[in-house]
Amino acid sequence: MLYYLLKNYDFRVSHIEESVVWELLIKWGINQIPELENKPNQDDWTDKNYEDLKNILSNFIPLIKFLEISSEDFYYKVRPYKSIIPNDIYEEITEFYLVEQPKLFHYIQNLY
């Protein structure tokens, strides 16, 4: 069900901001990892905690429309989870925010 909602772009555009989608997805993923229930501060997380979250969210992250997240929200809400985002996607998103005329990338082409 979650996968369908994330994949259904029309539903998301009319109902919720992408930064909120990201925050809810992160919260859902964290709730799937019992060990993180007692670690509300990311500074207390281990590499394994991040790896577990990455594995849980791996099918969902490519469905996030990162380019619709403001640069400020990206910095404060997405960047702290950089290690769970595939490197190629993270690099494309970073270029989008930093370069005046970014190239059209594989990730972007698949989303739009």
Q: How confident is the model at residue 9 (pLDDT cuts 50, 70, 90)?
A: low
pTM exceeds 0.85: no
Confidence at residue 102, expressed as pLDDT on a 0 to 100 scale = 74
Q: Which of 36, 16, 35 is nearest to 24 (CA)?
A: 16
Average pLDDT along the chain: 85
Mean pLDDT of 32-39: 92
Instruction: Tell me the average pLDDT across 11-31.
Output: 84
Residue 103, Cα to own-chain centre: how many angstroms? 21
- State the burial class of residue 19 (Cβ atoms within 10 Å of its Cβ: 0-12, 13-18, 19+): buried
Q: What is the tens place of the pLDDT at every residue in 54-97?
A: 999 999 998 898 988 999 999 999 999 999 999 988 998 898 88
Contact (CB, 8 A) for 6 and 59: no
State the residue for tokens 């950089």.
82
Q: What is the pLDDT of residue 111?
A: 58
